[in-house]
Structure 1
C-alpha cells in the first residue's frame, strides 16, 4: 500500500508538466502553419528574384561565347557609366524638389480637413484621394493628352492664343512629370497625415482653448509635433517611389515630341532598356541591385535621423 501511495503522486506530478509542453509545441506548429503561406509567397516573389538577379549580375552576354561568367565586371562598368549617373542625378534632383512640395501640400490639406471648418469634408477626402486610385499608366496617358501639344488642352491653347507653350520640352519635362506624380500621390500622403491628426487627444485642444490659444498656435504647438512620426514615414515612402519612376518616361515619348526623354532618363528605365532591348540582362541586374542598395541606404538614413529627432524631442 505504501508503494501505491508513493507512485501515485509521482505520476500525477509528471502529467501536468508534459501537458503544457505539448500545448506550446502545438501552438508553435499552428503559428508556423498560419505563417507558411505568406512565407512561401514572400520567398517566391521577393527572395528568389533577388537571388536570381544577383546570380545574373555575375554574367555578361557576348556575341562570341554567349553568356560567360564575368565576376564583378558589371559593377565596375556601372561605376564608370555616365548614362547611369546622369539618370541617377536626375532622379535625385527630382526627389529633392518634388517630395517636399508634395508633402507640404498633403500636410496643408490634412490640416484644413482636420480644422472642421470645411463643408463637405468627407466628400473632399474622397476627391483628394481619388487620383491615387487611378492606375499609373492611365494617369500618364491622361496627362499626356492634356499637356501634349500634338493634341489636347495645350494644343488648343496655343491655337487660340497664338503661343508655342510646350510643357514637355526638354527643359520642362521633369517639371511636368513632377506635376503628374504630385497629383497622383498627394491624396495618399494626406490621408496618412489626417489619420495622425485624428489620433491627437481632444484634451490637448481643450487645454489650448482654455489657455486662449488661437488656431495658428494650436497648429504650431500641437498638430505639427503630432505629424513628425507620420512625416518620417511619408518621406521614406516618397523617396522609394521617386527612385522607381518608370511609367511616365516610358509612355510619354510615344505621345509627345522632343521631350528630351532618353533611354537612360531614369535608372529604372535604363535597366528596362538594357534587359529587354539591349539584351544585357546581367548588366541590368547589377544596375537594379545597386539602385536597390542606394534606395535602402537613403531611406534608412532618413529613418534614423527622424528617430533621433523624435527621441530628442
Structure 2
C-alpha cells in the first residue's frame, strides 16, 4: 500500500505539468503575432495619436542657442490639416477615383469569376493563373511598366494611336487620374476574382440542380442564385478596395517622375509624406494620418453596416 501511494504521488506532478503545458500551448503560438501586432500597429498608432497633439514652438530669433521646444498644442494640428486645401483636394481625387475604379474593378472580377465557375470556360486553372498573374507583380514595377506605355515618344501604344490619327495623352491633367486607375484595376482584378471564385465554389451544387429542374438557364442562375449568395463576399472585397483606394500611393508616386500633372500631395498619403519629410513637421503629419484613418474607419463601418443590413432577415 505504501509503495502504491508513493508511486501515485510520483506520477501526479508530471500529469499536472503536462496539463499546464497543454493549456499554455495556444498562447505560445499566438504570442509572436501579438508581439508583432503590438510593436508594428498598436504602438505606432498610439505614438501618432500622442504626437498629433504636440508641436514644435520657436521662441525669439534662436540667437540665444535654444532650439525649438516640443509643446502641447491641442487640436491645432487637426485644424491645420482640415484647413489644408491641397490635403482635402487629395481626398477629393481618391473619392472620385474610388467611385469609378472600384465598381469597374469589382465588376470585371465578378464577371471573370462567374465565367470561370460556368461551363463556358475550359482550362480553368490556366485562365485563373493568367488573370491573377498581374497581382504577383509589385505595384511599383507595374506602375513603371505602364508609365512606359503612357509616355509620349517612347510608348508603342501612343505611337500606334497617333499613326491612325488619334491624339492620346495619358498623362494629361484630365486623364492622369484614370491612367492611375487603369494600373490599379489591372493589378487587383485577379486577387478579387480569386476571392469571389472561392465563394462560388462554396455554394452547394444541389442549389444549381434544383434551379435547372425549375427551368432556369445559366444567366438566370448567375444573377438569381450565385450573385445573391456571394453578396457578403462581394461587399468584403468592396471594403478592402475602399481602404486600398484611400491609401493610394505607389502608382501616383511613380508616375510623378514622368509628369508634372501629379503633384507631391496628389493623394492624402502623398501629402502626409510631403509634410513629414520635406516640411519636417512630424506632428502635423501625424494629425493628417489620424484624419485619414478616421475617414477609412467611417467608410469601413458604413460598408459593414450595409453588409449586416443585407444579411439580416426581413420581418
Task: Flag whether TM exceeds 0.5 (same fold).
Answer: yes
Q: Determine if contact 1:75/1:286 at 8 Å carries over to the other structure.
A: yes
Q: Where do residues 83-122 of structure 1 align in structure 2 (5 Å cutoff)?
A: 83-122=86-125
Q: Determine if contact 1:109/1:190 at 8 Å carries over to the other structure.
A: yes
Q: Determine if contact 2:162/2:168 at 8 Å carries over to the other structure.
A: no
Q: Determine if contact 1:147/1:166 at 8 Å carries over to the other structure.
A: yes
Q: Displacement of 1:278 after TM fit? A: 1.2
Q: 1:289 — aligned with what?
A: 290
Q: Displacement of 1:266 after TM fit? A: 0.4
Q: Displacement of 1:159 after TM fit? A: 5.3
* Aligned counterpart for 2:248 among listed residues 242, 245, 249: 245
Per-residue deviation, residues 22-67 of structure 1 (Å, max 9, x unmatched): 7765443222222211111111111111122122222224565424
Q: 2:83 — aligned with what?
A: 80
CA distance 1:207–1:161, change in 2 (3 Å): closer
Q: Displacement of 1:156 after TM fit? A: 2.1
Distance (whole Å) between structure 1 residues aligned to residue 220 and residue 303 of structure 2: 28
Distance (whole Å) between structure 1 residues aligned to residue 15 and residue 225 of structure 2: 49
1:54 has 2:49 as partner: yes
Which secondary structure state, in structure 2, belongs to the residue aligned with residue 164 of structure 1? coil
CA distance 1:277–1:191, change in 2 (3 Å): same
Per-residue deviation, residues 238-257 of structure 1 (Å, max 9, x unmatched): 0011111001111112123x
Q: 1:267 — aligned with what?
A: 268
Q: Displacement of 1:68 after TM fit? A: 2.2
Distance (whole Å) between structure 1 residues aligned to residue 30 and residue 299 of structure 2: 30
Which secondary structure state, in structure 2, belongs to the residue aligned with residue 312 of structure 1? coil
Q: Displacement of 1:193 after TM fit? A: 0.8
Q: Determine if contact 2:81/2:87 at 8 Å carries over to the other structure.
A: yes
* Aligned counterpart for 1:185 among listed residues 185, 188, 196: 188
Q: 1:209 — aligned with what?
A: 212
Q: Where do residues 168-183 of structure 1 align in structure 2 (5 Å cutoff)?
A: 168-183=171-186
1:255 has 2:258 as partner: yes
Q: 2:305 — aligned with what?
A: 304
CA distance 1:281–1:28, change in 2 (3 Å): same
Q: Determine if contact 1:274/1:280 at 8 Å carries over to the other structure.
A: yes
Q: 2:237 — aligned with what?
A: 234
1:41 has 2:30 as partner: no
Q: Displacement of 1:114 after TM fit? A: 0.5
Name stretches of at least 5 consecutive residues in structure 2 with no aligned partner: 1-7, 60-66
TM-score, normalised to structure 2, is 0.88
Instruction: Name the stretch that deviates more: 24-33 or 179-188.
Output: 24-33
Distance (whole Å) between structure 2 residues aligned to residue 80 and residue 25 of structure 1: 57
Q: 1:123 — aligned with what?
A: 126
The Cα RMSD (Å) is 2.4
Q: Displacement of 1:126 after TM fit? A: 0.1
Q: 1:138 — aligned with what?
A: 141
Per-residue deviation, residues 106-149 of structure 1 (Å, max 9, x unmatched): 00010000012112221110000001100000000000001111
TM-score, normalised to structure 1, is 0.88
* Aligned counterpart for 2:70 among listed residues 65, 68, 80: 68
Distance (whole Å) between structure 2 residues aligned to residue 33 and residue 227 of structure 1: 36
CA distance 1:155–1:211, change in 2 (3 Å): closer
Q: Determine if contact 1:53/1:285 at 8 Å carries over to the other structure.
A: yes
Which secondary structure state, in structure 2, belongs to the residue aligned with residue 68 of structure 1? strand
Name stretches of at least 5 consecutive residues in structure 1 with no aligned partner: 1-11
